[in-house]
Amino acid sequence: MAQPLVKKDDDQEDEEYSPFLGIEKGAVLQEARVFNDPQLDARRCSQVITKLLYLLNQGETFTKVEATEVFFAVTKLFQSKDTGLRRMVYLMIKEISPSADEVIIVTSSLMKDMNSKTDMYRANAIRVLCRITDGTLLTQIERYLKQAIVDKNPVVASAALVSGIHLLQTNPEIVKRWTNEVQEAIQSRAALVQFHALALLHQIRQSDRLAVSKLVTSLTKGSVRSPLAQCLLIRYTSQVIRDSSMNSQTGERPLSDYLEACLRHKADMVIVEAARAITEFSGVTSRELTPAITVLQLFLSSSKPVLRFAAVRTLNKVAMTHPLAVTNCNIDMESLISDQNRSIATLAITTLLKTGNESSVDRLMKQISNFMSDIADEFKIVVVDAIRSLCLKFPLKHRSLMNFLSNILREEGGFEYKKAIIDSIVILIRDIPEAKETGLFQLCEFIEDCEFTYLSTQVLHFLGNEGPKTSDPSKYIRYIYNRVILENATVRAAAVSTLAKFGSIVESLKPRIFVLLRRCLFDSDDEVRDRATLYLNTLGWDGSVGEIDKGVKEFLFGALDVPLVNLEASLRSYEPSEEPFDLSAVPKEVKSQPLTEKKAPSKKPPSFGVSANGPTSPIDAYEKLLSSIPEFSSFGQLFKSSAPVELTEAETEYAVNVVKHIFSGHIVFQYNCTNTIPEQLLENVVVIVDASDAEEFAEVTSKPLKTLPYDSPGQTFVAFKKPDGLPSTGRFSNLLKFIVKEVDPATGEAEEEGVEDEYQLEDLEVVAADYMLRVSVLNFKNAWESMGPDYERIDEYGLGVRESLAEAVTAVINILGMQPCEGTDVVPNNARSHTCLLSGVFIGNVKVLVRLSFGIDGPKQVAMKLAVRSEDEAISDAIHEIVANG
Amino acid sequence: MRGFGRELSRVWSAVPKASFVRYLTMRTVVDPPVSLSLVSFTEEPYPSFKNILLLDSEGKRVAVKYYADDWPTQAAKLAFEKSVFTKTQKTNARTEAEIAMFDGYIVVYKFIQDLHFFVTGGDNENELILSTVLQGFFDAVGLILRNNVDKRTALENLDLILLCLDEIIDGGIILETEASVIAGKTTSDSLDGMSSLSEQTISQALATAREHLARSLLK
């Protein structure tokens, strides 16, 4: 029944011919009985094992019983002296991976082979035994393994060393005892033995930095032969460099000479490994980068795709942090756009998008368009992201870039890809006003044929916010109403809301919107009908409300400026009665819970697709709050609101924090007060501010808080006049004054008579940083250069002894209150020097850029060089004053 | 999820379940493009390999070996092979080894006749090391099959192919990359393994030495 394995029928030349044609597990298992024959036919047995392995390789599985049977049968084959068969037996045992109690059957046979005179037996028996063994058995064979590591046959030594690397995961304490032998093996003349020994020794010592450092230092002096071992050594070297600190005097990294020498190695793999290690130095300098980039550039025109790929991938990564260093390669990179290999082409494109300049944008876009259609979605997303950042970098090019985005939006693509495009368009609309109308139009086109509900609703919501503010809002209505006719309930509901927004904001469209909304009243979906009804009534379609009630409009279409938690709490405590629920009674201030929560922009749901650097929403909420108070409406545009500053200790009777609102000629303190005593009701709450230490400020008005019930935050305000447009500073002492009324905890009724009382708060300071708005710039270098050195002020400061460089950097950033750019606020561990780029807008709308260079020496003395550029000489000086006084 | 305004909080609850599930599955299937992830290139303490695949011209298995748990089930393995095969099928990887990157892996590959050779590594692996292993495997198979490399011969000598795989990588770690040595270790089917091994090694070493010389000259 068993057909001969190797069938040499020449007349059966059809293409589907396979020696395993019609193979069946049951039959092969039957055949395996030949393993039990007293007279073993080695050739036949080999064939049967091959068939079994073929089955396993094709994904066939053996049941527990079958596996056990095969295993026991195979163990019989150790009787045969045939080397070929023995090799197959080893393979089979590894493939079956017998259970612990079965292992014992083969242990003695394998141990015998481990001590065989045949090197091939020794090497393979070690590998099999180590694969299937457990800890207890390992101690028995440990002696042999140690011998094997220093065996003169490299195959045996490698087998033992590789097994050691595997065993280190499960039995580290045993393998660690082999250190001496492994160390001896590192000196081996055989290339791979050295490689394996180095890998194992490093693994054994990886937690001991000093030992790794010693190992690396001794080996870099030049006893490593094979390219593979050289690659390992490069990895370990860069690890040592990462862990050790840079020498501050010379700016040299230890061992960097070795890595640079590796760039001239004859093996490509070593060169690539070294070039990568160098490009990944933290805070790598251009002097260090240059030689690495040069060798990679040569590889870009290699005939080998693998080499081109390795080079372009590394350069792509470098371009993210050091775009200028890569620009030299741009010509070679451009020729790679047409590379047959799409992975290489994509990497080349995205690199060019990062390093390219304004003039090359159009040419690049043309080249990309040709190739977008034949790459995978995941690559397309990479390209889209790169294009978005390019557009933000060169806003003037928005037309061609937006065009490109809209073209690819029309093509086929998966959800993630479409989402990436939509997000990009939205961000561009937000950041580049000129791109708004075309962008919105593209979005409208998109939802006409969008299979993703999620994206449709997002776009509709965004249209509702942005569409009414355009020059001709009416042209969007058709697209939106089409959704009501054509889409599923979720999209329909979103479209209804969007229509209503147009209706509420654009008076001229209102009658037409009413017509459309009335049609929605007959929708089959509850949500859609409910929304239509709600909007029709609030917009006053029946003429009952002449002028739309401002509050209603705010509530429906404005941002919800009430923290959801507070709203929820208020709704819970609301009892059904004649009196309607009053939204304005919901406390607007976030409860003085953990400080971090307060900073979260929970006051208003963040707008569509806001990226991390988008305008922070609390400011908008503050602005709305302040403009609603008539006393402050004459102060003009709000320049900045600070983060809340606590004026009381945590857990005190009254919790008060303050937000400083800066206007050009005024400052308003918003005191957020919380009463934490259930038995008290506070009335006429005011803060008496003593500004005698703040000469330039004069109190103009204050707004007391009428009542402050238990656990329900309220605000009181005090406003000061200050010299217009100047960064006046000062110190204010605060006293909380109020009338206390006892509350009966049983009834919740407050007593008629109250007692006047006061409560000392901590002092409040207005510092220069309060006048600085954190505004990031997209490209610091460009901004810096376009600002010019006319009003540049440079000076050096000693910052004294600091815990670390990072701490000093953070401190200076906080003093200045500016926005760190390009991630330079992060100081790499153990860095000895650091450059930090800051940008901001100072009061009076003066742009300020700061370049800070820090250095730290042995006894933690930190020195700093401060270079300021701004549009105003006086401001540049003022920044220095801030630092000098800070 | 970044917030998308008040609209979305309502919409989320109203999204039909099917589309939500579709969204979730898409999240899991579509890995972020790895080429730009910020993982360090040199994270692994030693080069490690995910798998070696030898497929035929229809993407069916001839011999495969997996070293990592990245594909826990048979179905996952087959899906990976299918995706590797279809994504590389149209490329010309007959003269030089080609390279591709997808799903967070780097795959180097080379084709000859109706056989497709693949070596897969993690996305931060040195591509040149991967291709050295691929070249070792490719050349060793050529030596074993005496330059008669096609699917049929490979299947007829499957035992040798499997042994060859076993000699190249052990549990994801490189064991040997020199084709002549790999081939020498596998084709010891005569009675006395050692003598024939050394003999073959010498003659084959000469053959590969010539080949290597030719390759380096062409570079």
pLDDT of the residue at B199: 46
Question: In the predicted model, is pLDDT for residue A635 greater than 50?
Answer: yes
pLDDT of the residue at A283: 78
Question: In the predicted model, is pLDDT for residue A649 greater than 80?
Answer: yes
Question: In the predicted model, is pLDDT for residue A425 greater than 50?
Answer: yes
- Exposure letters B165-183 (e unless 16+ CB within 10 A, then b): bbbbbbbbbbbbbbbbbbb
DSSP A176: G
Tokens representing residue A398 in the block: 């928005």
Q: Is A527 in contact with B14 (Cβ distance < 8 A)? A: yes
Between residues B109 and A816, which one has the greater pLDDT? B109
Residue A529, chain B, CB below 8 Å: the answer is no
Residue A415, chain B, CB below 8 Å: the answer is yes
Q: Which of A166, A231, A303 sits opposite B129 (nearest CB)?
A: A231
pLDDT mean over A670-677 = 86
**C-alpha to C-alpha distances, A586 to A678, A682, B6, nearest whole angstrom:** 18, 17, 18
Q: Is A376 in contact with B99 (Cβ distance < 8 A)? A: no
**C-alpha to C-alpha distances, A635 to A629, A719, A724, nearest whole angstrom:** 11, 10, 11
Lowest mean pLDDT among A420-424, A575-579, A704-708, B100-104: A575-579
> Using a CB-CB distance cutoff of 8 angstroms, which residues of chain A are in contact with residue B127?
272, 306-307, 309-310, 313
pLDDT of the residue at A162: 95
> Using a CB-CB distance cutoff of 8 angstroms, which residues of chain A are in contact with residue B162?
50, 53, 57, 91
pLDDT band at B30 (very low <50, low <70, confident <90, very high): very low
How many other β-carbons are positioned within 10 Å of the β-carbon of residue A434? 14
Measured between CA atoms, how close is A465 to chain B, in angstroms?
A: 10
DSSP A324: H
pLDDT of the residue at A751: 79
Beta bridge partners, A837, equal A851
Provide the ipTM: 0.73
Lowest mean pLDDT among A145-154, A369-378, A440-449: A369-378
CA A184, chain centre distance (Å):
44
A-B Cβ pairs (cutoff 8 Å, strict): 253
Tokens representing residue A699 in the block: 């109190």
Question: In the predicted model, is pLDDT for residue A609 greater than 70?
Answer: no
Q: Is A84 in contact with B97 (Cβ distance < 8 A)? A: no
> Is-contact B62 B56, C-beta < 8 A?
yes
Q: Which residue of B has its CA nearest to A350?
A: B36
pLDDT tens for A612-624 read 333 335 666 777 7
Q: How many residues are present in chain A?
A: 886
Ranges of beta strands (E only) in chain B are: 49-56, 61-66, 98-102, 105-112, 115-122, 169-170, 173-174
d(C-alpha A353, C-alpha A391), whole Å: 10
pLDDT of the residue at A363: 80
Q: Which residue of A has its CA nearest to B161?
A: A50
Between residues A87 and A543, which one has the greater pLDDT? A87
> What is the radius of gyration, based on Cα positions, of chain B?
21
Lowest mean pLDDT among A343-352, A627-636, B40-49, B210-219: B210-219
pLDDT of the residue at B63: 95
How many other β-carbons are positioned within 10 Å of the β-carbon of residue A345? 21
Q: Which of B3, B15, B162 sits opposite A53 (nearest CB)?
A: B162
d(C-alpha A749, C-alpha A119), whole Å: 96
Q: Is B128 in contact with A206 (Cβ distance < 8 A)? A: no
Residue A610, chain B, CB below 8 Å: the answer is yes
Question: Which residues 129-148 of A have a C-beta within 8 angstroms of B?
Answer: 131
Residue A604, chain B, CB below 8 Å: the answer is no
Measured between CA atoms, how close is A711 to chain B, in angstroms?
A: 27
Measured between CA atoms, how close is B211 to chain A, in angstroms?
A: 17
Question: In the predicted model, is pLDDT for residue A651 greater than 50?
Answer: yes
pLDDT mean over A283-308 = 91
Question: In the predicted model, is pLDDT for residue B196 greater than 50?
Answer: no
Measured between CA atoms, how close is A700 to chain B, in angstroms?
A: 38
Q: Which residue of A has its CA nearest to B93?
A: A305
pLDDT tens for A494-506 read 998 888 888 888 8
Beta bridge partners, A797, equal A864
The residue of B99, B167, B192 whose CB has the most chain A CBs within 10 angstroms, and thus the best one to mutate to test that interface, is B99
pLDDT of the residue at A356: 76
pLDDT tens for B122-174 read 988 999 999 999 999 999 999 999 888 999 999 999 999 999 999 999 999 99
Q: Is A347 in contact with B11 (Cβ distance < 8 A)? A: no
pLDDT mean over A451-476 = 87
Question: In the predicted model, is pLDDT for residue A167 greater than 80?
Answer: yes
Measured between CA atoms, how close is A615 to chain B, in angstroms?
A: 14
Question: In the predicted model, is pLDDT for residue B1 greater than 60?
Answer: no
pLDDT mean over A35-39 = 88
Q: What is the mean pLDDT of chain A?
A: 82
pLDDT of the residue at B31: 36
Q: Determine the 3-state secondary structure of A692 from DSSP.
A: strand
Residue A91, chain B, CB below 8 Å: the answer is yes
> Using a CB-CB distance cutoff of 8 angstroms, which residues of chain A are in contact with residue B5?
461, 465, 605-608
Phi, psi of A14 (to 5 degrees): -70, 155
Lowest mean pLDDT among A275-284, A853-862, B145-154: A853-862
Q: Which of A310, A376, A460 sits opposite B127 (nearest CB)?
A: A310
> Is-contact A274 A259, C-beta < 8 A?
yes
Question: In the predicted model, is pLDDT for residue A213 greater than 60?
Answer: yes
How many other β-carbons are positioned within 10 Å of the β-carbon of residue A21? 11
Q: Which of A118, A343, A461 sits opposite B5 (nearest CB)?
A: A461
Question: Which residues 22-51 of A have a C-beta within 8 angstroms of B?
Answer: 46-47, 49-50
Question: In the predicted model, is pLDDT for residue A304 greater than 90?
Answer: yes
Q: Is A343 in contact with B101 (Cβ distance < 8 A)? A: yes
Lowest mean pLDDT among A81-90, A208-217, A368-377, A752-761: A368-377
Angle CA(A388)–CA(A390)–CA(A392) in degrees, nearest 5?
70
Q: Which residue of A has its CA nearest to B41?
A: A276
Angle between helices A119-132 and B193-218 (to 10 degrees): 90
pLDDT of the residue at A295: 94
Question: In the predicted model, is pLDDT for residue A3 greater than 50?
Answer: no
Between residues A629 and B24, which one has the greater pLDDT? A629
pLDDT of the residue at B132: 95
pLDDT mean over A867-871 = 87
**C-alpha to C-alpha distances, A535 to A302, A497, A502, A504, A571, nearest whole angstrom:** 66, 8, 11, 9, 22
Listed residue (A549, A538, A546, A495) closest to A519, CA to CA: A495
A435 burial class (0-12, 13-18, 19+ CB within 10 angstroms)?
A: buried
pLDDT tens for A242-264 read 877 654 445 567 788 899 999 99
Angle between helices A510-520 and A474-486 (to 10 degrees): 0
How many other β-carbons are positioned within 10 Å of the β-carbon of residue A431? 17
pLDDT of the residue at A405: 87
Lowest mean pLDDT among A1-5, A113-117, A581-585, A740-744: A1-5
pLDDT band at A544 (very low <50, low <70, confident <90, very high): low
> Is-contact A83 B191, C-beta < 8 A?
yes
* Sign of the CA dihedral with A97 first, then A102, A103, and A107 last: negative
Q: Which helix (DSSP H) or strand (DSSP E) does residue A502 occupy?
A: helix A489-505
**C-alpha to C-alpha distances, A487 to A494, A529, A608, B9, B16, nearest whole angstrom:** 10, 15, 21, 19, 13
pLDDT of the residue at B213: 63
d(C-alpha A710, C-alpha A743), whole Å: 10
Question: In the predicted model, is pLDDT for residue A601 greater than 50?
Answer: no
pTM: 0.62
Number of H helices, E strands in chain B: 8, 7
Measured between CA atoms, how close is B116 to chain A, in angstroms?
A: 16
pLDDT band at A16 (very low <50, low <70, confident <90, very high): low
pLDDT mean over A764-789 = 81
Highest mean pLDDT among A760-764, A882-886, B31-35, B43-47: A760-764
pLDDT tens for B75-99 read 999 999 999 999 898 888 898 999 9
Q: Is B36 in contact with A320 (Cβ distance < 8 A)? A: yes
pLDDT of the residue at A874: 81
d(C-alpha A603, C-alpha A564), whole Å: 8
Question: In the predicted model, is pLDDT for residue A450 greater than 50?
Answer: yes
Phi, psi of A715 (to 5 degrees): -125, 145
pLDDT of the residue at B2: 42
> Using a CB-CB distance cutoff of 8 angstroms, which residues of chain B are in contact with residue A182?
none
Q: Which of A47, A277, A494 sits opposite B11 (nearest CB)?
A: A494
pLDDT band at A643 (very low <50, low <70, confident <90, very high): confident
> Using a CB-CB distance cutoff of 8 angstroms, which residues of chain B are in contact with residue A82?
191
> Using a CB-CB distance cutoff of 8 angstroms, which residues of chain B are in contact with residue A267?
128
pLDDT of the residue at A230: 93
pLDDT of the residue at A15: 52
